[in-house]
Structure 1
Amino acid sequence: MSTQTLRVGDVDLADWRWMLEALYARFETGDFSAGAAFVAEVARIADELNHHPDVDLRYGHVQITSTSHDVGGVTDRDIELCRRISVVAEESGFAPRPDKLQALEVGLDTLDPDAIRPFWAAVLALGDADSDALVDPAGELPGLWFQDTTSTDPARMRFHFDITVPPDEAQKRVAAALKAGGRLVDTSHEPSWTILEDAEGNKVCVCSALGRDD
């Protein structure tokens, strides 16, 4: 099966959303036992295809992430796996909930990424200290990436959150944040990301794959 990296527009899977170089889906299973049985079937399919996703089993739902780590993106292997999983979910009566999907990253503004990256890799036990972004191999902590800055203002906020959601949910999330007292800071990069801040000036980017991973 092909290992060529695909683009966002190449993927047409109703249950799945492209976020952070991977395909994500969430299925409502109702209870833990039903979810566990679903995961067992996912494992069988993954072994058959020799392509294995990350699976998060909770009491009422299962969330699945699929990517081809050897090429750093989504390939035909992921498409086939995701299609097979969706068939099982539909046959089992498990509703997809793409509106519930989200992935969190943390950005750190820095004058010298190379000087501080090893510290954060060590203290958080995140991935390879030589990589631009640090990722938890177990997938339990959000990734940490480093944003170059020339500002030495001690009052400047150094950390900010990047929350990535499906493109069809991004503006809903922005609207909810504004209704909750947030303020728009920058919309010039939409639909890739919108910068918001709370009443005290703490910033967050609401991101989607459109334009960002394309």
Structure 2
Amino acid sequence: MSVGPLSMSGMVVQITPEQFHDSEGVADWRVLWSVAFALYRTGDFATGVKLVAEIGRLAEAAGHHPDVNLRATVLEVRLVTKEHWSLTDADLALARQISDAAAALGVPADPSATRTWEFAIDAYDVDRVRAFWCAVLGYEMVGDSDIADPDGLYPPVFVQQMDVMREGRNRIHIDVGVPHEQAEARVAAAVAAGGRIVTDRFAPMHWTLADPEGNEVDLATWVGRD
């Protein structure tokens, strides 16, 4: 897959999750919803700091900055162009550079371990519900249905417009994003652990599951999304 370079005006070219995954040099990465994730097994904190420093150098040179989450033996990196809240050729280029930097340091990626999640709230009046949760959490509104931590440190909340509430469904549930190749195995594991499939009519975009007491979760991939 070929995507165009930055234009003379500095505009970026938006790309789809499928285009991202079809590109060379991104085997370390998995798109979860609209964000590209990589998880590196650094083995120790000092190695993680070295990789973060190299990522910082690359990001400054590119003028494009990822989110990084460094722990004692693991480093998570997230890439998305926040002006569009979608993937672009800038994310693709930086993902390749970060993968090369990790390889040079001998740090392996673990794509199967990438994951993300958010709270989801069913609502009749999305704007009023969003305003309440922004006040409680100290979040800000993003787009037409999301609210998010302005510092990007805590999980977002998706407020979902409902015309009719489904009887027996909790009004608050969790959305979990997983690598597309892991989804069916994750569904099977959830069922084996005592859960059930509420509906798979939207699979492979998402499956709705319930735990043994009826609490629901949507297990989601990028497949079928714009």
Q: TM-score range by the shorter chain?
A: over 0.9
1:171 is matched with: 184
Alpha carbons 1:118, 1:129 under 8 Å: kept: no
After the TM superposition, which residues 45-84 of structure 1 pair with which residues of structure 2 at under 5 Å, given as runs? Answer: 45-84=58-97
| Equivalent residue for 2:14, pick from 5, 8, 27 | 5
| Equivalent residue for 2:27, pick from 14, 38, 57 | 14
Deviation at 1:99, TM superposition (A): 0.9
Deviation at 1:116, TM superposition (A): 1.7
- With over 3 angstroms needed to count, the CA separation of the structure-2 counterparts of 1:202 and 1:29, relative to structure 1, is same
SS of structure 1 residue aligned to 2:141:
coil
**Residue 37 of structure 1 pairs with residue 46 of structure 2:** no
Unmatched 5+ stretches in structure 2:
1-5
Q: Which amino acid aligns with 1:117?
A: R
Deviation at 1:138, TM superposition (A): 2.1
After the TM superposition, which residues 128-167 of structure 1 pair with which residues of structure 2 at under 5 Å, given as runs? Answer: 128=141, 131-151=144-164, 156-167=169-180
Alpha carbons 1:117, 1:129 under 8 Å: kept: no
Runs of 4+ residues over 3 Å off in structure 1: 150-156
Q: TM-score, normalised by structure 2?
A: 0.89
Deviation at 1:152, TM superposition (A): 6.1
Deviations 1:57-95 (A, max 9, x none): 111011000111122211111111110110011111111
> Following the alignment from structure 2 to structure 1, what is the Cα–Cα distance between the partners of residues 135 and 145?
15
Percent of paired sites with the same residue: 35
Q: Which amino acid aligns with 1:9?
A: E
2:200 is matched with: 187
Deviation at 1:131, TM superposition (A): 4.1
> Following the alignment from structure 2 to structure 1, what is the Cα–Cα distance between the partners of residues 155 and 148?
7
Count of residues in Structure 1 that have an aligned counterpart in Structure 2: 213
Alpha carbons 2:119, 2:175 under 8 Å: kept: yes
**Residue 106 of structure 1 pairs with residue 119 of structure 2:** yes
More divergent stretch after superposition (148-157 vs 176-185)? 148-157
More divergent stretch after superposition (129-138 vs 94-103)? 129-138
After the TM superposition, which residues 191-206 of structure 1 pair with which residues of structure 2 at under 5 Å, given as runs? Answer: 191-206=204-219
Deviations 1:23-42 (A, max 9, x none): 11011110001100110010
- With over 3 angstroms needed to count, the CA separation of the structure-2 counterparts of 1:185 and 1:152, relative to structure 1, is closer
Q: Which amino acid aligns with 2:47?
A: A
More divergent stretch after superposition (38-47 vs 18-27)? 18-27
Q: Which amino acid aligns with 2:135?
A: A
More divergent stretch after superposition (124-133 vs 100-109)? 124-133
Alpha carbons 2:69, 2:77 under 8 Å: kept: yes
Alpha carbons 2:17, 2:34 under 8 Å: kept: no
SS of structure 2 residue aligned to 1:96:
coil
Alpha carbons 1:51, 1:77 under 8 Å: kept: yes
Deviation at 1:148, TM superposition (A): 2.2
Alpha carbons 2:142, 2:148 under 8 Å: kept: no
Alpha carbons 2:130, 2:141 under 8 Å: kept: no
